Amino acid sequence: MLRLAKIWRIVRRIVREPLGALGLGLVVLVVLSALFADVLASYPPTKLSPADRFAPASFQHLLGTDHIGRDLFSRVLYGGRIALSIALGATGASLVIGIMLGLIAGYGPRWLDNILLLVFDALKSFPTVILALTLVTITGPSLMSVVLVVVLVSVPGYARIIRTQTLVLKSAEHVMAARSMGAGSARILTVHILPNVIGPILILASMDIPVVVAIEAGLSFLGMGVRPPTPSWGSILNDGFANIRDSYWIVVAGGLPIILTTLGFTFLGETLRDLFDPRLKGRV
Amino acid sequence: MSNIASTNLSRRTVLAGTGALGLASLIYPARRAQAAGSILKVRSYSDIQILDPAFRLAAPEGDITNVIFAGLVVATAGDKWGWRPMAVETIEQLDPLTISFKLRDGIGFTDGFGQMTAEDVKFSIERIADPKNESPYSGDWETLKEVEVKDKLSGLIHLKEAFAPLWTSTLPTPSSTILSKRAVTEAGGKLGVEPVAQSGPYLLKEWLPKQRTVLVRNPDWKYEQGGYDEIHIHPIEDEKTAELGYEAGDLDYTWTSVSSISRLKENPPADTTVVEKPSLAFVWFGMNKAVAPFDNPDVRRAVQYAVDRKAVVDAAYFGAASTSTGIIAPGLIGHREKNLYDYDPDKAREMIEAAGVSGQTVVLDILNKTERLTAAQVIQANLQDVGLNVEIKQNDSGTFWTLGSKDNEYHKKLQMVVQRFSMQPDPSWATEWFTSSQIGTWNWESFDSEEFDKLVVEGKIELDDAKRDVMYKKMQDLMEESGCYVFLTHEVAGVMYRNSVAAALKPNGEPVFAEFKPA
Amino acid sequence: MLRYALKRLGLGIIIVSVAMMMLFAMVYVIPGDPASVALGPRATQEMVESLRARMGLDQPIWIQFARFYMSAFRGDLGTEVLSGRPVLTVVLEQLPFTLTLIAGAISWSVLLGIPLGCIAAVKRGGFVDRVIGVLSVAVIAVPSFVIAIYSLLIFAVALQWLPAIGAGEPGNVISQLRHLILPSLAVGLGWVGYIARIVRASMLETLEASHIRTARAFGLTDRRITYSYALRIAVLPTITLLGVGIGHMLSSSVFAEIVFARPGIGKLVYEAISVRNYPIVTGAVLVTTVFFVVVNVIADIVIGALDPRVRASFD
Amino acid sequence: MTVLDIRDLSVDFATESGALQALRKVSMSVPENRIVGVVGESGCGKSTLINAILGLLADNGEVTSGEILFEGTHDLTTLAGTAMRDLRGQKIATVFQDPMGALNPVLSVGRQMRDIQYRSNLSRREKDARSIEMLRKVRIPDAEQRLVQFPHEFSGGMKQRIAIAMALMMEPSLLIADEPTTALDATLEVTIIELLKELQQQIGCSVLFISHHLGVIAELCDEMIVMYAGEVVESGTTRDVFHNARHPYTRKLLACDPARLTHRARRLPTIPGTLPDLRNRPEGCVFQARCELADATCSRMPPDEEIAPGHLARCWHTEASVMIGAGA
Amino acid sequence: MSDDALLSVADLHVHFRVGGLMSTLAGQPSHIEAVAGVSFAIERGRTFALVGESGSGKTTLARAVNGLQPASAGSIRFEGRELIGVPKDEWKPIRRRMSMMFQDPVGSLSPRLSVRSLLAEPFVIHGLSRRDLNAEVMRLLALVGLPSEFADRYPHQLSGGQARRVGVARAVALDPVLIIADEPTAGLDVSVQGEVLNLLNDLRDRMGLSMLIITHNLHVVRQIADRMAVMYLGRFVEEGETEPIFTKPHHPYTAALLSANPEPDPDKVHNRIALPAEVPSLLDRPSGCEFHTRCPFARDICATVVPPSTMVGASRITCHFPLNTELRLATSESI
């Protein structure tokens, strides 16, 4: 009960900011439409109907159809599920791994810190796409591969931020105080460090969700995204690019949800950041 | 994708990956008349890596070597497959095992390598044929005995056995290109990316990797003149990019993606001719009889009934291509009139049910190309309809072409595949990959038929067209009878060029640079 | 300073080594055999074996890596087996195109991003600030390949203002610049947003610093305080961001190079991976990681030059 | 003449939970050539007072009443931006508490000292000469060489001297020193205080010196005001206030200072209770909640009782208050 | 050191590593000695104060005693047990007997924990959670004079003085015998300082605690400490009973510190010992007497010869020419 009241208070604070309200609205819209895709969609997302291909937007097909006559509106709705599950799954996994590695690097012995930093830097020095291509070539295109790519790409960033903050907190007085009382490393990390570093990173992660959607779209564009006929926004875009000359609406159908989701999460993340952690303003 | 193989290698070209990006992309020169007066700007689907005809990697290289080096004969443009003499004044088959030739007197090599002689012919052809040289094209001359030099300009080509594809897919390809013996020897037996001793109507003037290759008219070439002073060849892998580049006016000529043809025809860019060419390529949907559940002939047959080939081809090629009856395209010896098994979902459903595989999930491997994906998705829907779940696995070209290789553990798991091979205009090119000895190499369906194997050997040495026709039809019957194959299409090739260009195309749409002219 | 640079470079060499080790490990497990891919269907087993030997693929992976690394130190990245051209030459041929692309992208982002960020910070909370804020987020949000596609469609195909494909006439600077505009915009537009936002944020932060209050208390003009005192500090994070951003731009350039059929490292690697042309992949990735590391060292040094505090901590 | 004369100044801040009255009817003056100390504990409104004088109140701050007369003519509360800016640095100079953050870290000290002379017509070289002269005055060794150095290359004490040099460079008529020694060690603190005193005499300016350190005020200042919860509770000459404090808060504050205890005490004196909530000021005396003399009268606003000429205490019980803290 | 001393520290050294391989190769020292040979003892029930300016090593010394900072040499005996070399996992019971308070009253409380959790933490850490934690929390709040509703507040909702009380409550939660308090009054207004010092004095009397106080505030020392030591560059320059040191400082540095304290009396005539120059860097310690660069009384010998540690009166000092030994009057004597 208390929690609900707290969440409601936070929501009210977010909604007070115009951009926050817009962001929250968009996110809610995307999440709901993904959740209720089966209710809202009038066609199965993978149903082929070559006879209806390249139909422009109409009442039958709100966003038109693609090159094999699939209803784009339905695909966009179901694509939301894919995008959100990749975004949440991959971001969640990256967070867990990144936080763990960051805590280890920041609090653990120096040599381990050095090794981890080296690995992070090495990973970071690969251009993302090349890392992604190499990985997807190894694992074959699939939802898991996309998640793996995202994890590899984002873990170093999270881990580094957590590490830096852990290093700072390691010598903070409240941590010293806990140590002086005899608290072990596990307690210090979980009780005294983690709660103080996790807020900013969660906000940053919410702002990374659109990046994940973009990575998925980019891999699909290179034919290395999720497996067909899975309706992902990236693969809709890819189909759209192939037919952009005469059927612009396919690219619009694929691009619009990406842009809206990105804007939604970014605005929401920013509002949260400004409300709860103004210190973070310095980073994008 | 297609690739038309301008050489034997066509398949390998596809394999090589660049090819995988698409037939659509061969070099299709086009010129934009007003733009540069006498400059033709064309697109090729891959950049050059090596300009030695004996080691060329992909069709775009063959298209270039065909104009900067003189071959004995060269393929001509037109709606029928044909050839004309290039380096030779005369060439004729004296008997099944002997061909005589006489070179034109006056073909010179650049860079001071003198005049082309019969000695150079002997050197060039034997170089390709000799297995020691590891030319991937040695098969083009697989029955060569030797080349006999009679005098400075004439000689005889002696074969060990009759070789039916000689006049269709060996001589009119870069495999008959004549290089300077001295130049090649001095270069260490192999030419690199900078050609020496060029001898054709055009010379390679400049190569900027991944940017363009510039050909200029060879002032010393005395015979059939090219239509342009310069030809600029831009390597553009992605066919959609090439189409957009064409529309933006950066190209005069390009091969289009198959999926665009019908829409481009309906609504062509300004001042443009869009043509559709029948392709030699063949696309099929295969099942590996070595792997369950396709080890059961009834399941294979059921799938043959289950696939709505018309719908598959229609969806994948946007109505531009029609279904095929086999692997040998119309117009060639051995083309079949009709299929043995076709769409009958009710029968299929019964057989699947009877075989007890209903509800199983099978994996369909494809190359990550739009058309293949669409085809696979329709097949997926078709099979779903009769009770089989299909998981589509897209592979990049590097992975795809090794899926069925016996070096790759995956070949033991490979269940279904949508495949596309391309070929030279001789039926022997289509069939040789399906022999039992090719299992674990290119025969991914594990199709094995002694009769088929025997016919493949006989078909190559039989010179009588009528007899060959019967043999090759039989071979395709055997394939379809096995249940391993669902023949889909021969595709079409789409080409567009400015109306200011008179494009010179082989029957399958491949360009003949030397014959392009301003309209 | 020099010592710091050397130290950073030393660390850079280690980072590059680790990165290359990872790459070798990854390449090793990629399915597909480059030799048989290269030779095609008619290759005999003997031909494949001999090519594998020539490519060094018959050796265990660590020997392959050690060999690669030893010769890389001598500046030899091996030869491309099929064409026989030195890998270094092939890579360096492509490098300038990617460099100009990235330079173009950086120009967009700096020339537009910094002024926009400044304006937003100065007009904090106002209408202009909001508009810049929303636009920044919007351009960050759109994937670069979508921008590439649309700009190609609009400016090259529909309007025909700018060329669609290639890198321009060799030797013709105007033509090359014209060919650079759209691809670099595609790569750089998102960064305009990033830079604008980070400049705004660090401007606001700097403007609250106590030395700015001191400057005000001494009666310095707002203009001088904003553009001379605050901006100098506020642009520092931009440099770090751009240093790290080079990696992202290299990624975006793959798309831009594909869509605009432009030569460049990104496309080179993309194609090389798909045909398992490992010497090119390893060579190009080596060159880009070295480039990335060097750029970041330079970024740090530039920051040092601009920020004496950092300079002091170098020693 | 009075350099600075503040009359009935009140400042409010708009906050999420209502208006916060940071200053209430503050009156004080800084006579020419005198050092006036402002003393008070955290939350007493010292910083707001300075910011109000400098016209640097945060955006949500607003002067709701009163005036700040500078040199008898300009009312700083109504002065336009540029006019205010012309006074700052020229006529009114400031030294802030934090020597680490007060200088721009990326500009050399010489550049910053030159920049603040931007109104002068001197050449660059002459400006630098002036800077060097000032650095010498604050006893920075090797002043010429140090001009090109950056703030981080100086120790905390030196930075504070540079800040003083910069503040006094334009020979202002008023120097505001906001806790300039708080961040420094005791041995440095005394040298800075002595330096300030010496320079003040040399230049002949007035100083408004803010500190929570009674000892420093006692040593340095001629006059002082005591602030509590945004009000001036007592003001007068330093001697009057220290020897004859009449506001209960002042007396308690003085008693609390352990420096006054020369022998070890059983119990140290304290001031029980907490500051009132400034969003919700009590009617009448701000100190009543913590004052043992408080009675019904205290719920009315106390007058500024004149104890002696120039010695004021805002209290109803200035007679009784002498008993407070006597025991300490 | 008497054997019944609760804590006795002998010749303690603490090193910090500075610079990397490169600077070591360049011949720069690779370590600084933050604490360089310090000895003292605290008897049961007594309070010892460490005084020094920033960088003198007093905080490092305190942390070394608590094992938060590894010592590099010397001996620390606590309740008869040698603490140097105690393995990490055996510190826990020791820390139950010896608690520590840190400088920043608010910052030393974990920001996301309520006062209740903060006060319960010592019990949880030491496996005493079977006790009635709520009762313990209430007991502690009462002990430090905070109302019980404070249990549900968070650190940022506390004033400095309140936060300091919570810190004190945590420190005494498990009935330690020694409290190490780093600047217990830093950041507090004078009126609040007294409250905290009174509280500490009370608790010491009621619980029989010993205390080690680290501070730069001499007035605090005088009010609370029985013995004191003055630190300069990581060493003691003067150590002894508090009151005599205040009345008759022997080391010039002590005298300078005492004289540097402005007193709240406008009529006071100041007779200061001014210290020229800046504090030297630990990386580059002066030769001879390390104070000679700033000592107004330095003579030639001071620059070359390290002064011995001698007893002058009840104080142990390190100076060639101690003050107040004969009839020389205190330079700055307060009253």
* pLDDT tens by residue, B296-318: 999 999 999 999 999 999 888 88
Of B243, B311, B377, the CB nearest to A229: B377
Percentage of chain C exceeding pLDDT 90: 8
Asked whether residue C59 falls in the same domain as residue C187, the answer is no
Q: What is residue E333's predicted lDDT score, i.e. its pLDDT?
A: 38
- State the chains in contact with B (3 or more Cβ–Cβ pairs under 8 Å): A, C
Asked whether residue C83 falls in the same domain as residue C96, the answer is no
Q: What is residue D222's predicted lDDT score, i.e. its pLDDT?
A: 92
Percentage of chain B exceeding pLDDT 70: 93
DSSP state of E282: G
Domain boundary among C26, C60, C87: C87
Q: Which domains does chain E have, with CATH numbers?
A: 43-71+87-247 (3.40.50.300), 254-335 (no CATH)
Of E190, E218, E267, the CB nearest to D257: E190
Q: Is A134 touching B (CB cutoff 8 A)? A: no
Q: What is residue C46's predicted lDDT score, i.e. its pLDDT?
A: 59
Inform me whether the pLDDT recorded for B351 exceeds 90: yes
The tokens of D210 are what? Answer: 């803010």
- Alpha carbon distance B460, B440 (integer Å): 23
Give the chain A residue nearest E124 (alpha carbons): A183
* Chain E residue numbers touching A183 (CB-CB < 8 A): 121, 125
* pLDDT tens by residue, A217-268: 788 777 777 776 778 888 888 778 777 777 778 888 888 888 888 888 878 8
Domain range B282-490, its CATH number among 3.30.2350.10, 3.10.105.10, 3.90.550.10, 3.50.50.60: 3.10.105.10
* Minimal C-alpha gap between A190 and chain C (Å): 31
Give the chain C residue nearest B238 (alpha carbons): C258
Q: What is residue D184's predicted lDDT score, i.e. its pLDDT?
A: 80
A170 belongs to a structural domain: yes
Task: Provide the residue ranges of all domains of chain B, joining segments of one domain with +.
Answer: 20-247+495-518, 282-490
* Minimal C-alpha gap between A279 and chain B (Å): 45
- CATH code of the domain covering residue A26: 1.10.3720.10
CA-angle at C145, arms to A231 and C162, nearest 5°: 140
Q: Is C240 touching A (CB cutoff 8 A)? A: no
The tokens of B282 are what? Answer: 């063949």
Give the chain C residue nearest D54 (alpha carbons): C217
ipTM over cut 0.95:
no
3-state secondary structure labels for all residues of chain D: CEEEEEEEEEEEEEECCEEEEEEEEEEEEEECCCEEEEECCCCCCHHHHHHHHHCCCCCCEEEEEEEEEECCCEECCCCCHHHHHHHECCCEEEECCCCCCCCCCCCCHHHHHHHCCCCCCCCHHHHHHHHHHHHHHCCCCCHHHHCCCCHHHCCHHHHHHHHHHHHHHCCCCEEEEECCCCCCCHHHHHHHHHHHHHHHHHHCCEEEEEECCHHHHHHHCCEEEEEECCEEEEEEEHHHHHHCCCCHHHHHHHHHCHHHCCCCCCCCCCCCCCCCCHHHCCCCCCCHHHCCCCCHHHHCCCCEEEEECCEEEECCCCCHHHHCCCCC
Inform me whether the pLDDT recorded for E176 exceeds 70: yes
Q: What is residue E328's predicted lDDT score, i.e. its pLDDT?
A: 43
Give the chain B residue nearest A47 (alpha carbons): B381
Q: Is C31 touching A (CB cutoff 8 A)? A: yes
Count Cβ–Cβ pairs < 8 Å, chain C vs chain D: 81
* Minimal C-alpha gap between E91 and chain A (Å): 7
CATH 3.40.50.300 fits D2-91+173-260+269-321, yes or no: yes
Of A137, A224, A242, the CB nearest to B398: A137
* Minimal C-alpha gap between B36 and chain C (Å): 13
pTM: 0.79
How, if at all, do strands B272-278 and B492-498 pair? antiparallel
Count Cβ–Cβ pairs < 8 Å, chain B vs chain C: 149
Distances (CA, A) of D96 to C48, C219, D90, D161: 78, 15, 16, 11
Highest mean predicted confidence (pLDDT) among C150-154, C201-205, E251-255 = E251-255
Distances (CA, A) of D83 to D88, D90, D225: 9, 11, 28
Distance between first and last Cα of chain C:
7
Q: Which residues of A touch E (CB under 8 A)?
A: 172-184, 187, 191-192, 195-196
Indicate the length of chain A as a whole number: 284
* Domain carrying residue C241: 91-314
Give C33's contacts (C-beta < 8 A, 6+ positions apart).
B402, B405, B407, B408, C48, C52, C57, C276
* pLDDT tens by residue, B161-183: 888 888 888 888 888 999 999 99
- State the chains in contact with D (3 or more Cβ–Cβ pairs under 8 Å): C, E
* Residues facing D177 on adjacent strands: D95, D209
Contact indicator for C90, C170 with CB cutoff of 8 Å = no
- State the chains in contact with A (3 or more Cβ–Cβ pairs under 8 Å): B, C, E
Domain boundary among C62, C87, C112: C87
The tokens of A202 are what? Answer: 């969660």
A242 to B370: CB separation less than 8 angstroms, yes or no:
yes
Interior/surface letters E182-201, b for 16+ CB within 10 angstroms, e for the rest: bbbbbbbbbbbbbbbbbbbb
* Chain E residue numbers touching C7 (CB-CB < 8 A): 20, 22
Asked whether residue C268 falls in the same domain as residue C173, the answer is yes
Number of domains in chain C: 2
Inform me whether the pLDDT recorded for E164 exceeds 50: yes
* Minimal C-alpha gap between D157 and chain E (Å): 9
Inform me whether the pLDDT recorded for B391 exceeds 70: yes
Domain B20-247+495-518: assigned CATH number: 3.40.190.10
Position B4 confidence tier, pLDDT thresholds 50, 70, 90:
very low
Interface of C with A in 54-93 (CB under 8 A): none
* pLDDT tens by residue, D235-285: 999 999 999 898 999 998 888 887 777 677 778 888 888 888 888 888 889
* Minimal C-alpha gap between E22 and chain C (Å): 8
Q: What is residue E299's predicted lDDT score, i.e. its pLDDT?
A: 86
* Chain B residue numbers touching C157 (CB-CB < 8 A): 244, 247-248
Give the number of other CB atoms < 10 A from CB of residue C6.
12
Position C32 confidence tier, pLDDT thresholds 50, 70, 90:
low
A195 to E112: CB separation less than 8 angstroms, yes or no:
yes
Number of domains in chain A: 1
Inform me whether the pLDDT recorded for B22 exceeds 50: no
Q: Is C10 touching A (CB cutoff 8 A)? A: no
Give the chain C residue nearest E26 (alpha carbons): C3
Mean pLDDT of B254-277: 86
Mean pLDDT of E58-80: 89
User: Is the pair D, C in contact (3+ CB pairs within 8 Å)?
Assistant: yes
Q: Is A144 touching B (CB cutoff 8 A)? A: no
Position E28 confidence tier, pLDDT thresholds 50, 70, 90:
low
Q: What is residue C33's predicted lDDT score, i.e. its pLDDT?
A: 64
**Which region among B501-515, D307-321, E21-35, E135-149 has the lowest average model confidence (pLDDT)?**
E21-35
Give the chain A residue nearest C253 (alpha carbons): A129
- CATH code of the domain covering residue C182: 1.10.3720.10
A8 belongs to a structural domain: no
User: Is the pair B, C in contact (3+ CB pairs within 8 Å)?
Assistant: yes
Q: Is C3 touching E (CB cutoff 8 A)? A: yes
* Minimal C-alpha gap between E128 and chain D (Å): 34
Task: Provide the residue ranges of all domains of chain D, joining segments of one domain with +.
Answer: 2-91+173-260+269-321, 100-171
Contact indicator for A209, A270 with CB cutoff of 8 Å = no
